[in-house]
Amino acid sequence: MSGKKIDVTVFRFDPSVDKEPYYQRYEVPYEKGMSAMSALDYIYLNLDGTLAYYDHAACDLGICGRCTGKINGKTGLFCQTVIQEDITLEPLSKYGIIKDLVVGKAVEGQE
């Protein structure tokens, strides 16, 4: 462990409570080869149990595509994106959000 920490900024929105989406920043210990998914797992397990995202029950290999989202604005798979420095994680679409990074059926024609 190098002791290095990175800032992971996550899109938050609970349509049942929040008027507007907002961004929350978490400090996560850096580990070589860690993925955006491992950062989310770390946050959920250790920092904030209210965070919603699709974690992996089985795949975690980039096959199922369930964890598709935006990493620093670029579309990718959270489980396959290796991170090295501060990042921002957002849902693929800002429409049809169920909670945070969990998106239901995106409205057609919008993103």
Partner 1 sequence: MRRGQVPWETLEKAAAARFSNWKYKALDLSELGRMFKENEPIEVGAVVEYFDGGIVIDERFETGVAGLYAAGECALGPFGANRVCSAITEMLVHGADAGRNAGEYAGKNGTRKLDGRAFRPLEEEAERPLVRQSRLKPAQVRRRVQEMAHKSLGPIREKEELTGFIAFLDGVSKDELPHLGTTSKSRIYNKEWLDAIELRNMVHLLKTSAVSALHRTESRGVHYREDCPYTDNDNWLQENIIKLNNGALVVSRRPVTITSLMPPKGKVPFLDMMKKMMQSRSDIGGHTKKAKARRLETKVIVLLALCSMLSTPCSTIAREIACLGKKSM
Q: Least CB distance from residue 9 to partner 1, whole Å?
A: 19
Q: What is the number of other CB atoms lying within 10 angstroms of the CB of residue 34?
A: 18
Q: What angle do CA 42, 44, 47 make, to 5 degrees?
A: 80
Return the number of the residue (31 or 86) whose C-beta is nearest partner 1.
31
In the list 1, 2, 3, 17, the residue contacting partner 1 (rule: CB under 8 A) is 17
Residues with Cβ within 8 Å of 27's Cβ and at least 6 positions away in sequence, in order, are 5, 6, 7, 8
Residues 24-43 that bind partner 1 (CB under 8 A): 38
The residues of the shown chain that bind partner 1, judged by CB under 8 A, are 14-17, 38, 44-45, 48-53, 55-58, 60-63, 77, 80, 98-100, 102
